[in-house]
Every structure is written in structure tokens, then in C-alpha cells.
């Protein structure tokens, strides 16, 4: 079986966020198929996400300073069990993506909370923000949702994943 190749270097060089393209490629893999990813940097945050999905990885620097990473599916018994709200590594793939980096507060918070209103319990939202949404976190928690987030490797974008809780 051939590896599925995904080159996200053009997306990165144009200032884009390749996470959606990577997750789309992961979701299209055939059982046992590997993903060969090309990036402009060693994608450390992606390693944790892929490990949670049951993939091991081998990162290799290329001669031009870029990276090739081969993600290989691991044996099913190495993959963790069901999803729990407190363990982001066990969450499903995001079903909703929002790039809110061009918006000023409070618009990102308003849009994230509005999207969560339409999501079913357990669905996951991925949002890209220009800053850490400190005022959003208490709102998410008060509404029964769970969140996980951090800054990207450059420190210029905040990546937020929100798992929808039970709607009342």
C-alpha cells in the first residue's frame, strides 16, 4: 500500500493554517495506510494529536531545512479507549473549523459561543485566534463544554479546541 502524501509547505509559506488539510488527509487514510507529511518546520504539536489518534511518527529533516514526517498507524491495542471530556487526546476529530485571527474582541468569543449552540454533545470545534481568549474560558466552562488550547510554535496564533457538552 502506498503512503498518502500531503505537502503543507505552500499553505504555511502563504501564512495559512494547515490543520484542517492534515485532518482531512488523516480521515481519508485507508486502514493501515501511512501519511507522509511535508512541512516547513518540525510539527511538534501535531505529534501529540496524531499519537492520540493511534499513530507513531518518524520526523526527518530535509536538506533544505524543511521536514518530512511519516505517521504510521499503531496496533489497535496501543490506542487509548473512549473519549472523555477531561482528556483532549481522546476527543473526536474537529467537525467545525473557525479562523478568527482577523477579528477583534469580542467577536471571536461571540462566534465560538454561537457555533457551540448548534453543536451536538461530543462534537469538537477547532478555532484559530490572534490571542488567548481569557474571557471565553469561563463562559465555555459555565455552559458545560471542555476546552484545550495553546499557542502555535511561532507564538503568534492561539489554537483552541472545544468539545461540546450536553445541551440543556
Quick one: pLDDT band at residue 167, thresholds 50, 70, 90?
low
Residue written as cell 504539536?
45
Q: What is the pLDDT of residues 121-152, one digit of tens each?
A: 989 999 999 998 888 988 898 898 999 988 88
Mean pLDDT value of segment 64-77: 85
- Rounded to a whole number of angstroms, the distance between the first and last alpha carbons of the chain is 46
Q: Exposure string (b/e) for 102-135, b if CB count within 10 Å is 16 or more?
A: eeeeeebbeebbebbeebeeebbbbbbbeeebee
Mean pLDDT value of segment 100-124: 93
Amino acid at each position: 500500500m502506498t503512503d498518502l502524501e500531503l505537502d503543507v509547505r505552500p499553505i504555511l509559506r502563504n501564512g495559512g493554517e494547515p490543520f484542517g488539510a492534515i485532518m482531512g488527509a488523516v480521515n481519508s487514510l485507508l486502514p493501515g495506510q501511512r501519511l507522509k507529511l511535508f512541512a516547513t518546520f518540525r510539527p511538534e504539536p501535531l505529534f501529540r494529536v496524531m499519537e492520540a489518534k493511534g499513530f507513531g511518527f518518524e520526523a526527518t529533516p530535509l536538506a533544505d531545512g524543511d521536514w518530512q514526517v511519516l505517521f504510521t498507524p499503531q496496533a489497535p491495542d496501543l490506542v487509548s479507549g473512549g473519549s472523555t471530556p477531561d482528556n483532549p487526546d481522546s476527543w473526536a476529530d474537529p467537525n467545525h473549523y473557525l479562523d478568527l485571527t482577523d477579528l477583534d474582541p469580542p467577536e471571536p468569543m461571540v462566534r465560538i459561543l454561537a457555533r457551540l449552540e448548534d453543536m451536538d454533545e461530543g462534537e469538537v470545534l477547532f478555532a484559530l485566534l490572534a490571542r488567548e481568549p481569557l474571557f471565553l474560558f469561563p463562559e465555555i466552562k459555565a455552559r458545560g463544554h471542555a476546552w484545550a488550547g495553546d499557542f502555535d510554535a511561532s507564538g503568534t496564533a492561539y489554537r483552541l479546541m472545544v468539545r461540546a457538552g450536553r445541551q440543556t
